[in-house]
Structure 1
Amino acid sequence: MQRISPLRTLSNYRLSLLRYDLPAGVSVFLVALPLCLGIALASGAPLFSGLLAGIIGGIVVGFFSGSEVSVSGPAAGLAVIVADSIAKVGSYEAFLAAVVLAGVMQLILGLLRAGRFSSFFPDSVIKGMLSAIGIVIILKQIPHALGRDNDYEGEFEFQQLADGENTISEIYRAIVTASPGALLISGVSLALLIGWDRLAGRSTRSFFKNIPSALLVVVVGVLLNESFPYWMPDWYLGDTAHQHMVQVPQLTRGQSLTSVLDFPNFSVLRDAKIYGVAATIAMVASLETLLNLEASDRLDTARRVSSTNQELKAQGIGNIISGLLGGLPVTSVVVRTSANIYGGSRTRVSAITHGVLLLVAVGLGTALLNRIPLACLAALLIVVGYKLAKPAIFRSIYAEGWSQFVPFIVTVAGIVFTDLLLGVALGAVFGIGFVLYTNTERTFRVVRDNRSVLIMFEKDVSFLNKPQLKEALGNLQPGDQVIVDGSKSPFIDHDIQTMLYDYRETARVQGIGYELRNVAPALRRGSRKPLVA
């Protein structure tokens, strides 16, 4: 494989990489288009606000990003927060002022180097997040693949806002009401995606490698649907006015793009609640971004390490511009990033390309794009989801032991049955719990030879080890000759030191010989002279 390094600046870009980045950008564009619209609907915001956030996330954040593969745009995880915030502040224009403030806060976080906190998420939780998102993508796209579109594209919560169903019941409804036309289109699309990618991997011909499989399935999907009226009219899924089609808002004749933009109302800055809304957006968007950056580094075939602080700055700049122009908040998004990496991306040019294509689509391509059936895009997302949640991933994590598998599977279940942030929080709690449990195991060992007892500390000893150490001291018998040796322990907590020193009086009363070695050098140099009882 060609070795890829961070670009630093686009002036270092090699045109030889365009053969990878351009198809990847097309794939991300096709995935992002319905998601931008669906998230705007779920947020209760204008449709153009979702598209605008996608454009800015691609072009602006892509240019300044700290990652070569991350792709930003409106995030499903913020949809509920956005809807609640608009209602709280009273208008969309007031909400935009909060978005601008959130961007300023993110920029400050980047300057303060707050990105380092992403390293505190356990490895098993990050892997669980990726697999869970893959499962959610598959489950959420099955209804669209079957022709049922009651739920918004891009809504990943288990309880659905759009129709009151949940992820499982929505699949049941979709199976009962399945459309033969949608089923045929999604089935053919899946076969093409799998077959074309296999041919591209095995063939030496550039024909299979240079034509994006995502673009191919969209063309086939459109042609199939447009042919149904001639040979199977009942299977026809409709045209630009029907629910099952992509529905990009069309500009009327004489209407410019600037005429549909909304602008922030900064007079609301006198209201204190605007700052609370802005802080919420900044914190949630930053957390999602940092989580996705950790995940994208794992998926990156070139194994590059992203700059989390630079990414926070890029997100801040993106949200400032998005808020000023009327767009939704942007974050780094796992779905787009995964589609980008699996589409063969090598550099950030693919993310920028997807943003440019969204801009062109808004200005020129709505009539054609609105003839794309969601069934073929559902097939594209299902393949991305499967790559994130392959059964082999579950087997490999299970083989690493319970300390890795339990936080992993808790994260998966939490995200699938609640939402992204709550699922990650649950996984992190279990991950930290296992770390604490592991640190309390085998901290010391007790060796007994008749009346001689050695208590040997073998690693750092913290207050979490007090119960086990207290039990070991409680098992000593009158007449025992005990040595407590801390020479192999780099750190002994103050609580442990205090308990060991306090036990000297107990040992004296019970007739136990008791000696401390290398337990508390600082105390030994002080006023406590006798170390032997």
Structure 2
Amino acid sequence: MFKTIKSDLPASIVVFFVALPLCLGIALASGAPLFSGLIAGIVGGIVVGGLSGSKIGVSGPAAGLAAIVLTAIGTLGGYQNFLVAVVIAGGIQILFGVLKAGVIGYYFPSSVIKGMLTGIGIIIILKQIPHFFGYDAEPEGADSFLEASGENTFSALLSISDNIIWGSFIIGAVGLAILILWDKVLSKKGKIFQLIQGPLVAVILGIIWYVFTKDNESLSIAESHLVSVPIPESASDFFGQFSFPNFSAITNPDIWVVAFTIALVASLETLLCVEATDKLDPHKNVTPTNRELLAQGAGNMISGFIGGLPITQVIVRSSANIQSGGRSKLSAIIHGFFLLISVILIPRLLNMIPLSVLAAILLVVGYKLAKPALFKQMYKLGWKQSVPFFVTVIGIVFTDLLVGISLGLAVGIVVILLKSYQNSHFLHIEDKSNGKHKIKMTLAEEVIFLNKGAILKELDSIPRDTYLEIDLIKTRYLDYDIIEILEDFILKAEERNIDMKLISKRGVVENPSSFIRFFNERPKSKISLS
């Protein structure tokens, strides 16, 4: 792991600057103590990063859970009762891992995963533009179309012109220029520019700007437009920020409902993120999904025990890690230690970082996830790939992450059904013999219940006085639903003067009684023809 520290250390600094405002913003959006977001970020980096099998995934509090957390805190009668649900949710996730539920992640179509990445990239850009101009009505990390401020994603953009903070905008623009220059030019000039990352330089300049413009009315940045890390006055104040679960409420059935909801949503978001980060990874590492569920479960139990928010693997942090050259899990672990050390030793310095500079970093991350070339590429792949992709993107932008993915998955399933309908068999009319049409139907390698409609339609359309040959030579599996259709058609065929011939690797069958016996001699659940 330490062999790649030259790549992981610079990447961890970038991930730290991305994670810091998101941890605080998600805590604020969740109606939880600000410190709870930092706890989740620290545990996500150090604990989950250490236990996970992912080399480039980074975990922490997730915006997708903010609405659930906000509602649950009120429903369960306080934050300490809610923490009980977080601990239980971690235990449920560990159970998911033991039961090998991680396989679910492999069943999401590639087009939906790419749509998720692109949709998140667009959301990052749209949500960070207001912060870039100094308009901070919505907390960092929010991803829902409808905002807590009463606006939506697009109405917030229209409100920018009346709320520009020139100091925030200028240093944000300078920071963005540095990031682009670093990425496109300086990083290729020497190793020093690869070791010292552009985001670190942008943040340092942002702090300098804040210090030197404090007394300038037109260019100063108010505290409400800076990072806001809780500042303890003493060691007892610091430890007083931790909350602990009220386990006396464990008998409340609502806590168990919330726990299962968090476990399910957090596991799903994690598995989706794992699939997405593995696709982004230039080295194409494959993350063991069951181990990831175990790691996330352990992380959530620890986070809940000490007052942290629920944790998932998060695509924004993970993609920032990949884009910055992170090679191993060391990057995620170091970023967790950076969070821990900084909130203990330098919270006042962190509170001098303008949010507009961090928004500039996230704008670059968002653009790399949603490059225009990807839209063209997906369109060229045809409607079967492009429709689920675009539906996922639009769904994420106009609703939220899980709804958008659900819509894309639903469309993907419809596409699969259509493909199954079309590809279940091939029908070929060869010639006429003895006054009868001769038709040959070749079935596919595997024919399941999804192919029922297409086969039934073709059989019903076969005219009277036809010679039908059904070729099963390449067919290895026939679902029982298809067997029933063929058995029913045998009876209809006699009435319509249709002669039938069945060809398989086991021989040729040419009369109705042999047909029925051919199927009846095999298990009713399926027929293996290999």
Shorter-normalised TM-score: what interval?
A: over 0.9
Equivalent residue number for residue 528 of structure 2: none
Shift of 1:349: 1.2
Change (3 A) 1:107 1:254: closer
Compared CA separation, residues 369 and 399, structure 1 to 2 (3 A): same
Q: Indicate if the aligned counterparts of 2:487 and 2:516 stay in contact, CA closer than 8 A.
A: no
Q: Does 1:234 align with 2:234?
A: no
Contact 1:106 1:315 in 2 (8 A): yes
Amino acid corresponding to residue 411 of structure 2 in structure 1? F
* Equivalent in the alignment of 2:526: none
Does the 8 Å CA contact 1:105/1:316 hold for their aligned counterparts? yes
C-alpha deviation, 1:443, in angstroms: 2.3
- The one-letter amino acid of 2:260's match is A
Whole-angstrom distance in 2 between the partners of 1:526 and 1:227: 87
Answer yes or no: is the 8 Å Cα contact 2:115–2:393 preserved in 1: yes
Map 1:446-461 to 2 at 5 A: 446-448=427-429, 449-450=431-432, 451-461=437-447
The answer on whether the counterparts of 1:143 and 1:175 sit within 8 Å (CA) in structure 2 is no
Deviations, residues 74-93 of structure 1 (Å, cap 9, x unaligned): 11011110111111110111
Asked if the contact 1:24–1:344 (Cα under 8 Å) also holds between the matched residues in 2, the reply is yes
Match of 2:62 in 1: 75
- The letter of the residue matching 1:136 is I
Residue pair 2:214, 2:221 contacting (<8 A) in 1 also: no
| Cα distance between partner residues in 2 of 1:478 and 1:311 | 59
Partner of 2:131: 144
Distance 1:296 1:216 in 2: 26
Is 1:502 aligned to 2:502, yes or no?
A: no
Structure 1 counterpart SS, 2:441: strand
Q: SS at 1:90's partner residue?
A: coil
Match of 1:3 in 2: none
Alpha carbons of structure 1 residues 442 and 92: separation in structure 2 relative to 1, 3 Å: closer
Matched with 2:165 is 179
Aligned length, in residue pairs: 509
In structure 2, do the counterparts of structure 1 residues 487 and 34 end up closer, same or farther at CA, with 3 Å as the change threshold? same
* CA drift at 1:141: 0.1
Report the Cα offset of residue 69 of structure 1. 0.9
1:32-47 mapped onto 2 (5 Å cutoff): 32-47=19-34
Q: Tell me the residue number matched to 2:71.
A: 84
Q: Residue 502 of structure 2 aligns with which residue?
A: 516
Alignment of 1:151-190 (within 5 A): 151-161=138-148, 163-190=149-176
Separation (CA, whole Å) in 1 of partners of 2:5 and 2:428: 66
Structure 1 residues 42-96: Cα deviation after superposition (integer angstroms, max 9, x where no partner): 1111111111111111111111112111111111011110111111110111111
Residue identity opposite 1:85 in structure 2: A
Matched AA of 1:424: I
Q: State whether residues 193 and 214 of structure 1, in contact with CA within 8 Å, keep that contact through their aligned partners in structure 2.
A: yes
Flag structure 1 segments of 5+ consecutive residues without an equivalent: 1-6, 8-12, 529-533
| 1:62/1:470 CA distance change after superposition, 3 Å | closer
**Within 5 Å, which residues of 2 pair with 1:121-520?**
121-161=108-148, 163-203=149-189, 205-229=190-214, 233-238=217-222, 242-253=223-234, 255-448=236-429, 449-450=431-432, 451-518=437-504
TM-aligned CA deviation for residue 256 of structure 1: 4.0
Q: Quick one: which amino acid aligns to residue 398 of structure 1? A: Y
Does the residue aligned with 2:218 lie in a helix, a strand or coil?
A: helix
Deviation of 1:311 after TM superposition, in Å, equals 1.2
TM-score normalized by the length of structure 2 = 0.92
Alignment-mate amino acid for residue 234 of structure 1 = S
Maintained 8 Å contact 1:300/1:341: yes
Relative to the length of structure 1, the TM-score reads 0.92
1:6-42 CA-partner distances (Å, limit 9, x unpaired) = x4xxxxx32xx22211111111111111111111111
Question: C-alpha distance in 2, partners of 1:122/1:155?
Answer: 26
Q: Deviations over 1:117-176 (max 9, x none)?
A: 111111111111111111000000000001100101111111112x11100000110133
* From 39, 44, 49, the counterpart of 1:52: 39
The amino acid that maps onto 1:218 is V
**Cα separation, partners in 2 of 1:474 and 1:128, compared to 1, 3 Å:** same
Deviation at 1:260, TM superposition (A): 1.6
Q: Cα deviations across residues 478-507 of structure 1 (Å, max 9, x unaligned)?
A: 332222222222222322222223223333
SS in 2 for 1:45: coil
**Structure 2 CA distance for aligned equivalents of residues 112 and 464 of structure 1:** 28
* Structure 1 residue identity aligned to 2:217: P
Q: Secondary structure at the match of 2:470?
A: strand
Cα distance, 1:321–1:469 mapped onto 2, change above 3 Å: closer
Cα distance, 1:494–1:357 mapped onto 2, change above 3 Å: same
Query: Offset of 1:362 from its aligned partner?
Result: 1.3
Question: Is the Cα contact below 8 Å between 2:421 and 2:453 reproduced in 1?
Answer: no
SS at match of 1:260: coil
Among 97, 112, 119, the residue aligned to 2:106: 119
**2:127 partner letter:** K
Matched residue of 2:312: which SS? strand
Q: Distance in 2 between matches of 1:526 and 1:52?
A: 63
Give the match's secondary structure for 1:255: helix
Letter in 1 for 2:276: A
CA contact (8 A) 1:218 1:376 kept: yes
Indicate conservation of the 8 Å contact 2:422/2:454, yes or no: no
Structure 1 window deviating more from structure 2 (36-45 vs 250-259): it is: 250-259
SS in 1 for 2:37: helix
3-state SS of paired residue (1:28) = helix
Overall identity of the aligned pairs, in % = 47
CA RMSD of aligned residues (A): 1.9
Of 34-43 and 251-260, the range deviating more from structure 2: 251-260
For the 8 Å contact 1:66–1:309, the answer to whether it is kept is no
Counterpart check, 1:63 vs 2:50: yes
Residue in structure 2 matched with residue 94 of structure 1 by the alignment: 81
1:22 aligns with 2:6: no
Assess if the C-alpha contact under 8 Å between 1:444 and 1:459 holds in 2: no
Q: Read off the aligned partner of 1:25 and give its amino acid letter.
A: S
Report how far residue 313 of structure 1 moved. Answer: 1.1
Structure 1 residue identity aligned to 2:69: V
* Ranges in structure 2 where 5+ consecutive residues have no aligned partner: 523-530
Cα pair distance change 1:440/1:373, threshold 3 Å: same
